Amino acid sequence: MVDTKKEQEREELHRAIWAIADELRGAVDGWDFKNYVLGTMFYRYISENLCNYINSGEADAGNSDFDFAKMPDEDAEEARDGLVEEKGFFILPSELFCNVRANASNDENLNETLERVFRHIEESAKGSEAESDFAGLFDDYDVNSNKLGSTVAKRNEKLVKLLNGVGEMNLGDVKDHSIDAFGDAYEYLMTMYASNAGKSGGEFFTPADVSELLTRLGTVGKTEINKVYEIIMLIWSQGIGKIKKCAFAV
């Protein structure tokens, strides 16, 4: 039976990604475009995740009007160490996605702003258990690339469109969303651009429907399951690499 809500959310996400692609058409090739979209989506996600975490804690403490995004950076700094220990990273209020996006169209140095923000996010995780997860996280997000434009002004114009496009995506509250927005966006972008980049999508991801089918096949007849492993085997036939996938449960 088709999950109508899930399909509607997926189609809406795909339309939003296509709209961004249309805005940047002719400026950024597909493979790089994928990195810009996913990087911006992740920047939005961790910003909202941190805000929701802090605001929920304040609400539980009786401060229901508190909004971390409106907090002065100087005051927020006092909570840095505790938040890094709890969340693994820290973002200043002024460097949250919502605030950078709100000022983007008037920021003549938007490329430098984003470069600084991404560096600060990665540096915030140093010394924490999450350090390896954040190291080089935004390396593929080149805000100074000529592919975005031949001048700083043109590059910033594209970055504004990118921030607005991702900001307008209806991702909802992650815990209430019925699709894996980031996984689905990645799969859609791979489908759009992998072949054009001379790459095989199968080398980089397994479509969700295939993973679900493999899981079902691997768990047939089992009443108790610990883990499901997906094995990807490369079979060479007449010099052509082909992907074969299988799954088994333990």
3-state secondary structure the chain: CCCHHHHHHHHHHHHHHHHHHHHHCCCCCHHHHHHHHHHHHHHHHHHHHHHHHHHHHHHHCCCCCCCHHHCCHHHHHHHHHHHHHHHCCCCCHHHCHHHHHHHHCCCCCHHHHHHHHHHHHHHHCCCCCCHHHHCCCCCCCCCCCCCCCCCHHHHHHHHHHHHHHHHCCCCCCHHHCCCCHHHHHHHHHHHHHCCCCCCCHHHCCCCHHHHHHHHHHHCCCCCCCCCEEEEEEEEEECCEEEEEEEEEEC
Q: Is the pLDDT of residue 43 over 90?
A: yes
Task: Read off the tokens for 54.
Answer: 């802090």
Span 199-218, mean pLDDT?
Answer: 62
Higher pLDDT among residues 24 and 136, named by residue = 136
Residue 184 vs residue 25, higher pLDDT: 184
- Residue range(s) occupied by CATH 1.20.1260.30 in the chain: 4-201
Q: What is the pLDDT of residue 217?
A: 76
Q: Over the chain, what is the mean pLDDT?
A: 80
The predicted structure's pLDDT at residue 94: 98
Q: Would you place residue 175 in the very low, low, confident or very high pLDDT band (cuts 50, 70, 90)?
A: low
Q: What percent of the chain has pLDDT over 90?
A: 45
pLDDT band at 193 (very low <50, low <70, confident <90, very high): low
Q: What are the tens digits of pLDDT across the range 69-110?
A: 999 999 999 999 999 999 999 999 999 999 999 999 999 999
Which range has the worst mean pLDDT, 18-22, 48-52, 82-86, 101-105?
18-22
Rounded distance between C-alpha atoms, residue 202 and residue 200, angstroms = 5
Nearest to 184 by CA among 15, 1, 2, 4: 15
Task: List CB contacts of 126: < 8 A, sequence separation 6 or more.
Answer: none
Predicted confidence at residue 240, as pLDDT, reads: 40
For residue 38, the model assigns a pLDDT of 85
Please report, as a single letter, which amino acid is at residue 158.
K
pTM to 2 decimals?
A: 0.74
Q: How confident is the model at residue 18 (pLDDT cuts 50, 70, 90)?
A: confident
Q: Which fold has domain 4-201?
A: Ferritin (1.20.1260)
Whether the predicted pLDDT of 241 surpasses 60: no
For residue 176, name the pLDDT band (cuts at 50, 70, 90): low
- The whole-number pLDDT of residue 164 equals 94
**Block residue for tokens 């080089």:** 136
Backbone angles phi, psi at 213, to 5 degrees: -65, -45
Over residues 2-20, mean pLDDT: 80
Amino acid 200: pLDDT: 47
pLDDT at 188 (0 to 100): 77
- Residue indicated by tokens 């189609």: 11
CA distance 60 to 56: 6
> Which pLDDT score, from 0 to 100, does residue 3 have?
64
